Amino acid sequence: MTIMLERGARQGGQGRQRRQGTLPRLLAGGRKLPEHRATYGQIPLRRFAGEDGRRMLVRAITEAGLRGRGGAGFPTGRKMTSVAAGAKRPVVIANGCESEPASRKDKMLMACAPHLVLDGAVLAAHAVGADRVYVCVERGTSIADRLEREIAHRDDPVRWKLVRVPRRYVSSEESALVHLINDGDGRPMAAPPRPFEKGVAGRPTLVDNVETLAHVALIAGYGPGWFREVGTRNDPGSTLVTVGGAVARPNVYEIAPGMRLGEVIEAAGGAVEPIGAVLVGGYFGTWVPMPDGWGLPLSHDRTGPLGTSLGSGGIVALPAQSCGLAETARVVRYLAEESAQQCGPCMFGLPAIATDLAAVAYGRCDPATRQRLTRRMAQVKGRGACRHPDGATRLATSALATFADDVETHMDGWTCTGVSRDPVLPLPDRRHRDRSWK
């Protein structure tokens, strides 16, 4: 496991005595419960006992400025407040599915620090008044079995339920998890109501990414001021990112928001060949041209001229000799195939966009194709039953902008040599993709 330290920070600290401004935070403990307790201590439930304690815990998370680490970056304290205000007793879902192929940060966290995630889930349940926690992970992996073993060693005031989720891209969406638990179907549901209003068994449901919950445990243990000692004012705390592609040391890294994209690339060992662009935010993210983007600050806020966000935390460096249009066309086709096929934008829009984008990438288009592609992407935006079409079109739109020179070349019937290179962006093997929603 490779850990990146914030500039000028030092590792150290034991038990509850954590040094100020240090990284790593999330991955400093051990996999087993005794090691975890030796590093982070006991869950501070007594400190937050009773109704006043619950409110104090939610207030601490709100003051810390914690935002969701699953992609959307929504304020966690605000979400907890909404769930706690419901008429029925709430439920908590710990979302560890991580269906994003360009990211493995959540899998790494659950493998290396499962009890920090579980502590956070217990504290989140206490904060909103829940008595049940569902831990959702992709089926067909060893993580579920590991978590079951670790949960068996714990004595917590909640009932645990491990849910094995179909390995589909959209099955990790929060309404899809609720749908699976309620009805055995892992497809997203059209909103409203949202899960925080009416989720599992009709109860208000807090759905949080596992990294978010790990941060909840840290804030409860060390306080909102400590949490804010790294990161930025609007995006405090540390965050996990998965760095891949043309770097010397592809891995999961813990960074502080506000760090520059080039600094993160250098922390991953630097480029192994010239980099033409970097995909930031996974497959719902944006392409950042290099070297212009070297100084881009990374954040869960949208920054820079392209509105770049860390999103799911996937960062992939694309070699200059690879074709960004061909790479994007592959991913958009995958996203179209992974849709739930429940609304027009997914059933018809995404496949058509994928076909047009492939025509542009492989020099088989004319001006009419390009115009049709632009029109279709505008028609799909904001019209899906979930955010899947918006994410796919964001990626396609950024590719057309970042690789605009290549588009012009391909429009003339030429294709760059990069289309024949081995793919850089990771995708699941077709033979091993899950085709079931159950």
The pLDDT tens digits for 337-396 are 999 888 888 899 999 999 999 998 887 777 888 889 989 998 888 888 788 999 999 999
Q: What number of other Cβ atoms are within 10 A of residue 273's Cβ?
A: 12
Q: What is the pLDDT of residue 174?
A: 94
Residue 360: exposed, middle, or buried by beta-carbon count in 10 A (0-12, 13-18, 19+)?
A: buried
Q: What percent of the chain has pLDDT over 90?
A: 75
Q: What is the pLDDT of residue 5?
A: 40
pLDDT digits (tens, 9 = 90+) for 178-203: 999 999 999 998 777 889 999 999 99
pTM tops 0.95: no
Q: pLDDT tier at 2 (50, 70, 90 boundaries)?
A: very low
Q: What is the pLDDT of residue 344?
A: 86
> Is residue 402 within 8 Å of 141, Cβ to Cβ?
no
Say which residues have a Cβ less than 8 Å from residue 121's Cβ, sequence separation at least 6: 92, 94, 133, 135, 158, 213
As a whole number of angstroms, the distance between CA 391 and CA 283 comes to 7
Q: What percent of the chain has pLDDT over 70?
A: 94
Domains and CATH numbers, the chain: 33-227 (3.40.50.11540), 324-420 (1.20.1440.230)
pLDDT of residue 77 exceeding 50, the answer is yes
pLDDT of residue 6 exceeding 70, the answer is no
Compute the average pLDDT of residues 231-254: 96
Least confident of 16-25, 129-138, 180-189: 16-25
Least confident of 140-144, 219-223, 226-230, 381-385: 381-385
pLDDT digits (tens, 9 = 90+) for 425-437: 999 988 778 788 8
**What does the mean pLDDT of the chain come to?**
90
Q: pLDDT tier at 19 (50, 70, 90 boundaries)?
A: low
Backbone angles phi, psi at 171, to 5 degrees: -75, -10
pLDDT of residue 13 exceeding 60, the answer is no
Compute the average pLDDT of residues 163-176: 94
As a whole number of angstroms, the distance between CA 291 and CA 279 comes to 13
> Is residue 208 within 8 Å of 93, Cβ to Cβ?
yes
Q: What is the pLDDT of residue 412?
A: 72
Name residue, tokens 């009890």.
Answer: 115
Q: pLDDT tier at 136 (50, 70, 90 boundaries)?
A: very high
pLDDT of residue 153 exceeding 90, the answer is yes
Q: What is the pLDDT of residue 436?
A: 84
Q: What is the pLDDT of residue 400?
A: 93
Q: What number of other Cβ atoms are within 10 A of residue 10's Cβ?
A: 12
The pair of structure tokens assigned to 417 is 């040599």
Q: What is the pLDDT of residue 17?
A: 56
Q: pLDDT tier at 14 (50, 70, 90 boundaries)?
A: very low
Q: pLDDT tier at 8 (50, 70, 90 boundaries)?
A: very low
Comparing CA positions, the residue from 264, 244, 261 lying closest to residue 303 is 261
pLDDT of residue 7 exceeding 50, the answer is no
Q: What is the pLDDT of residue 16?
A: 55
The pair of structure tokens assigned to 357 is 């984008």
Taking each helix axis from N to C terminus, what angle separates 324-337 and 388-402, rounded to the nearest 10 degrees?
Answer: 170
Residue 4: exposed, middle, or buried by beta-carbon count in 10 A (0-12, 13-18, 19+)?
A: buried
Compute the average pLDDT of residues 74-90: 95
Peptide bond into 345 cis (omega under 30): no
Backbone angles phi, psi at 406, to 5 degrees: -65, -35
